[in-house]
Amino acid sequence: MTEQTTEQPIEQQPLVWDRGTAFTPELASERLAALRADPEFKARIDAKDPAAFAENTRLWRIANGMTPEPQPPATPEQIRQQMTERDLAIEEMRLATLEKYGARMEDGTRRFEHRRGLATAEQVEYARREVERMKRDVAFAQRVVAGDPDAVDRWLRFGRVASMQVAPADHDWSKS
């Protein structure tokens, strides 16, 4: 009978070299925790010692999966790509927040309209009037506070449209 092992292979963390010392994120976290617990290091930080701040920053960066020193993008295209990725991540967080509080974003059209952030002047004005009307409607406010999905969705949608940027009159809606 052959013996089967249930051990999983150990995943090797990539090593990051910092001033001649190899670190994994875990090792950097441990070293950082030890330094922060050291009264002498704390005193250096309190005295605003640049070397102590630099060491703290480098170890924090390694512990969080980054290079010890910031690496600027090499080309303008890479910078634009990073900016686009960051903008998309921020929008996804906004959408997740809206969905968390009840907005229904299940279809692609609503997600697209939210990302676009543009509306006609008429749509923005209508949404603003509707928001003001909803604020005055005590029964509606009670439904929102009670978590009524339809009321919450209506409140969030009109609030979002009311805060959108007004598109120019000649805006080509087929391209945005």
**Alpha-carbon distance 165 to 168, whole Å?**
9
pTM of the prediction? 0.43
**Alpha-carbon distance 111 to 107, whole Å?**
7
Domain positions in the chain are: 16-63, 76-170
**Alpha-carbon distance 161 to 131, whole Å?**
10
Q: Give the pLDDT of the chain (176 residues) as one tens digit per residue.
A: 445 545 444 455 677 777 777 888 888 889 899 999 999 999 998 899 999 989 899 889 888 888 888 877 778 888 888 888 888 888 778 777 766 665 665 666 566 666 677 778 888 899 999 999 999 999 999 998 998 888 888 888 888 888 888 878 787 767 65
The DSSP symbol for 22 reads: E
Nearest to 68 by CA among 36, 24, 13, 34: 24
Burial class (CB in 10 A: 0-12, 13-18, 19+), 63: buried
Residue 18, strand partner residues: 21
Nearest to 35 by CA among 16, 62, 53: 53
Residues 6+ apart with CB under 8 A from 150: 143
Question: In this structure, which amino acid lies at residue 109?
Answer: T
**Alpha-carbon distance 11 to 13, whole Å?**
6
**Alpha-carbon distance 115 to 94, whole Å?**
10
pLDDT of residue 1: 46
